């Protein structure tokens, strides 16, 4: 059976006012069940927001409050057919990665997949993996780069990987991935966040950290460099 890996990102590599960048979503073989759950919860949220049920609107994580987002997330986390996944990047402790956003994205997706394979998750015992990602930040030039990159990277494994770039406003699975990515982003970037407290099963997620050795170190490499530069300026 085909395994679907659905991903979205939260934050951006170039933003300086946030320390952690996140790529997250979920794995499943029952994609239709995820979209059905989203459709059902969407009706509840629309009613709470006084939006007509027939109105086509994308309920992005940035447009709904934590309680409404928790409705989607708790249903997703409760599904035995679904495994939430994420990679969190500590941008202040990156020492070697200087690349375009698309190259960095591909690199971190690869690292996430490598981590998941190392966890020996039964869902990844498959002949076919379909990666479904939001296309909003992917340049036309890079549309096939990720698929080619992953095919080369996992050439020695007995499965085929394809990548589909999808518009989130037309795909409920991508919207679900958005909620997971935003949940993890808030957990790491917002000290006073409360969304994760509304998700009793939050910890039931396969979460990779990069770079693993210095992840979350405080002060970070970036702060140490600033301190060193200030000391030199004072001499």
pLDDT in tens, 182-219: 999 999 999 899 999 999 999 999 999 999 888 988 76
State the Cα–Cα distance between residues 7 and 27, nearest whole angstrom: 9
Superfamily of domain 2-234: Ribonuclease H-like superfamily/Ribonuclease H (3.30.420.10)
Which alpha helices (DSSP H) does 82-220 contain, by range? 101-118, 145-153, 172-189
- Which of 34-48, 97-111, 137-151 tops mean pLDDT? 34-48
Please tell me the pTM assigned to this model.
0.89
Contact indicator for 85, 112 with CB cutoff of 8 Å: yes
What are the structural domain ranges in the chain? 2-234
For 169-192, the pLDDT digits (tens) are 999 999 999 999 999 999 999 989
Decide if 23 contacts 51 (C-beta within 8 A).
no
C-alpha closest to that of 68 among 173, 172, 183: 183
Q: What is the pLDDT of residues 17-57, one digit of tens each?
A: 899 999 999 999 999 999 999 999 999 999 999 999 999 99
Structure tokens at 224: 């140490």
**Contact between residue 3 and residue 129 where contact means Cβ atoms under 8 Å apart:** yes
Rounded to 10°, the helix 145-153/101-118 angle is 40
């Amino acid at each position: 059976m085909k395994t679907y890996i659905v991903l979205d990102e939260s934050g951006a590599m170039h933003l300086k006012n946030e320390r952690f960048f996140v790529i997250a979503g979920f794995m499943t073989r029952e994609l239709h069940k995820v979209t059905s759950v989203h459709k059902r919860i969407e009706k509840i949220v629309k009613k709470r927001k006084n939006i007509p049920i027939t109105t086509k609107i994308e309920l992005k994580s940035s447009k709904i409050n934590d309680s409404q987002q928790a409705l989607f997330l708790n249903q997703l986390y409760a599904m035995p057919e679904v495994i939430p996944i994420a990679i969190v990047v500590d941008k202040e402790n990156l020492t070697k990665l200087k690349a375009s956003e698309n190259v960095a994205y591909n690199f971190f997706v690869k690292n996430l997949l490598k981590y998941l394979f190392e966890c020996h998750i039964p869902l990844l015992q498959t002949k076919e993996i379909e990666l479904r990602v939001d296309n909003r930040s992917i340049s036309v030039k890079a549309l096939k780069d990720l698929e080619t990159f992953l095919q080369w990277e996992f050439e020695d494994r007995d499965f085929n990987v394809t990548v589909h770039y999808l518009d989130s406003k037309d795909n409920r699975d991508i919207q679900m991935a958005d909620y997971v990515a935003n949940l993890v982003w808030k957990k790491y970037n917002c000290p006073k966040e409360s969304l994760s407290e509304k998700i009793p099963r939050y910890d039931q997620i396969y979460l990779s950290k990069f770079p693993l050795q210095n992840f979350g170190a405080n002060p970070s490499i970036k702060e140490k460099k600033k301190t060193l530069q200030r000391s030199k300026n004072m001499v």
